[in-house]
Amino acid sequence: MSTLFMSPKGGNCTTVTTAAFALMSAARGTNTVLFDLCGDIPAVLGMVEPSSPGINDWLSEHNEGDAETLVKSGTPLVNGLVVVHRGSKFVEGQPRWLQLAEAIQSLPHTVVIDAGITYVPQEVRDAVRTVTMVTRPCYLSLRRATHLPKPHNVVVIREESRALTVNDVSHVLGVPTFAEVPFNPSISRSVDAGLLPSRVEQLFGNIFPEV
C-alpha cells in the first residue's frame, strides 16, 4: 500500500496529517517508510534535524542508489517506521522520478509520502495506490485544488467556524472523504512539544480507517 499526501496550498496541516497517518500505520503493525519531500517531517515528529543525505540526494541525476539504499538512508523513529528525510534542499540535475516510482512499487513496506505543495510528476502519482489531498474547508484552497490533478480522496481539516462543510469539500472535488481531522489544540500542543509519536494513537486512533 502506498499513499501520497498533497495539498493545494500551504497551511493545510498536510505534514501533520501525513506524519500521523504513517505513525498509525506502524502502530497497527505494518512496516512503514515515510518519505519527506517537503523538509518539515523531522520538526513535526520531534526528531533531531538530520544533516545526512536524504531523498533529494537519492533523486539526483548522478546517483545510482536503488530502493534498498533509499530506505537505508532513513532513520528508524518508532517500531515499524523509518523516516527518509528530504536531505538537500534541491535535486541536482534531472530528478530520477522514474526510479522513485519503481522503488515505491517494489518496496515491501507501506509507503507514505509527504508532498505538500511540492511538484510530483505523473509517473510518481501513478506509482502510488492513493493520492490524498489534505485541505481546510476554505474557498481559496478549493479554488486552487480545482486546477490540480484530481486526487483519489480527501482529508478535511474540520473547523467549526468555517462556512463550508466537509460535504461541500467532497462535492467540489468530486471525491470521497477519507478522514476528517478536527482542528484540535491538543494536536498542535503535541506537535509543538515534539510528542506526536507518543500521543498519536490517543489523538488519531479514531480518525483514520484501518490502514
Residue 98 included in any domain: yes
Q: d(Cα 178, Cα 166) in Å, to the nearest integer?
A: 11
Q: How many domains does the chain have?
A: 1
Residue 202 included in any domain: no
> Which amino acid does the sequence have at 193?
A
Q: In this structure, are residues 36 and 24 in contact, taking their beta carbons and an 8 Å threshold?
A: no
Q: d(Cα 206, Cα 181) in Å, to the nearest integer?
A: 10
> Phi/psi of residue 171, each to 5°?
-70, -45
Summarised one tens digit per residue, pLDDT across range 110-154 is 999 999 999 999 999 999 999 999 999 999 999 999 999 999 999
Residue 86 included in any domain: yes
Domain span at 75: 2-197
The pLDDT assigned to 137 comes to: 94
Residue 31 included in any domain: yes
The pLDDT assigned to 159 comes to: 85
- Residue with grid cell 501513478, as numbered in its chain: 126
Residue 209 included in any domain: no
The pLDDT assigned to 174 comes to: 95
Residue 21 included in any domain: yes
The pLDDT assigned to 94 comes to: 96
The pLDDT assigned to 195 comes to: 94
Positions of the chain with pLDDT lower than 50, given as ranges: none
CATH number of the domain residue 113 falls in: 3.40.50.300
Q: d(Cα 211, Cα 209) in Å, to the nearest integer?
A: 6
Residue 151 included in any domain: yes
Q: d(Cα 55, Cα 58) in Å, to the nearest integer?
A: 5
The pLDDT assigned to 49 comes to: 86
The pLDDT assigned to 183 comes to: 87
The pLDDT assigned to 33 comes to: 98
Residue 205 included in any domain: no
The pLDDT assigned to 211 comes to: 56
